[in-house]
Amino acid sequence: MNLNLIGKNERIEMDFAPYKEQGYTLGRVALEHKRMYRIWTENGEPLCEVSGKFSFIASEREDYPAVGDWVVLQERTSENRGTIHAVLPRSSKFSRKSAGQVTEEQIVAANVDTIFLVNSLNEDLNLRRIERYLLLTWESGANPVIILSKADLCENIASKIAEVETVALGVPIIVISAIENNGIESLEEYLQPGKTVALLGSSGVGKSTITNILLGMEKQTVQEIRTGDDKGKHTTTHREMILLPNGAILIDTPGMRELQLWESSDALAESFSDIESLTDICRFRDCRHEKEPGCAVHIAIENGELSEERLYSYKKLLRELAYLDRKVDKKAQSDEKKHWKNINKQIKQKSKMK
């Protein structure tokens, strides 16, 4: 495979140069499943795992390869296997907090140029969920595009678009229908050769259908949405990088039941620029938008320029980020103690050996 066709550029070549001199191979992670990785290289698609030294040095889940990553590996071509020794610096990464109680980052896709945020135009259309996706996308470093799928199921498309526009400020919105074959051509602007696009969204919103149409074949199994609640079943079971016929790279992902934030405070101003701009003209600098006199945010709500739901969501996300920061700080302190404890243990063991 020609790596230039799947996104290799001068920055990646520079980052890889020191490893190239040592005889290592450059590759890109196409699939990840339980710490086993399918890597695209110039020689093939070896199945790889990380080296023992890599595992020892890696302290966080984010240190491990993710789909879309460029990695340094030693290939064993006769076995179609390999060993990963390093992950090159990422240009972007879409992350969320891992599902469950563990405070840990989970990288969904790396080195992505554009993220298609797919939402179905049925009763499951959720503005609050879109806000979360946008927040994490802005934080990732990639550009968001909102895809409103299954337009054939919606009778009031214009009003739905208007609703989404209230939370997706300045973000492109594309309406498509796979059944009627409408709107798909509008995606081509972002699917350029060598560019990487990730498909994100809840279960059953149509990601697999979009993948099949763009690929021109039935690669992903498609299941009907449930009639009881308009929600879909899982069809994609793992993250995978797919090379499209025109040379663009598509990363398909499983539907996400949980979308907890991960270090998105910087992106909050981008996602909620409407509220942030009003905050600047509140009477008090530390206005909490409660009952303070001269609160520009509440004046906007009274005038119908802003919804109370939007403000509530903003405050909720702020609280969630503050809580996450506290948990991350505690985890960092705990990890630091464990790190030094291990170092002291190794020093004592070496002293005994002498």
- Residue 97: strand pairing partners: 105, 260
Place of tokens 């001269």: 294
Which residues are known binding-site members for GTP?
149-152, 201-209
Q: What is residue 304's DSSP assignment?
A: T
The annotation places the binding site for Zn(2+) at 282, 287, 289, 295
Q: Torsion angle, CA of 242/247/248/254, rounded to 10 degrees?
A: -10
User: In this structure, which amino acid lies at residue 13?
Assistant: E
For the record, the structure tokens of 8 come out as: 């290799």
Torsion sign (Cα): 126, 128, 133, 134: positive
Parallel, antiparallel, or unpaired: how do β-strands 240-243 and 36-40 relate? Answer: unpaired
Task: Identify the sign of the CA torsion 274, 131, 165, 123.
Answer: negative
- Spell out the alpha helix ranges (H) of 63-168: 127-140, 157-165
| Neighbour-count burial for 117-136, b at 16+ CB within 10 Å, e otherwise | bbbbbbebbebebbbbbbbb
d(CA 102, CA 62): 13
CA dihedral 42, 44, 49, 52 (to 10 degrees): -50
Contact 119, 147 (CB under 8 A): yes
The tokens 């996602």 sit on which residue?
Answer: 271
Diameter of the chain measured on Cα atoms = 79
Dihedral, 52, 57, 59, 63 alpha carbons, nearest 10: -80
In the annotated binding site, the residues are 149-152, 201-209, 282, 287, 289, 295
The Cβ of residue 46 has, within 10 Å, a number of other Cβ atoms equal to 22
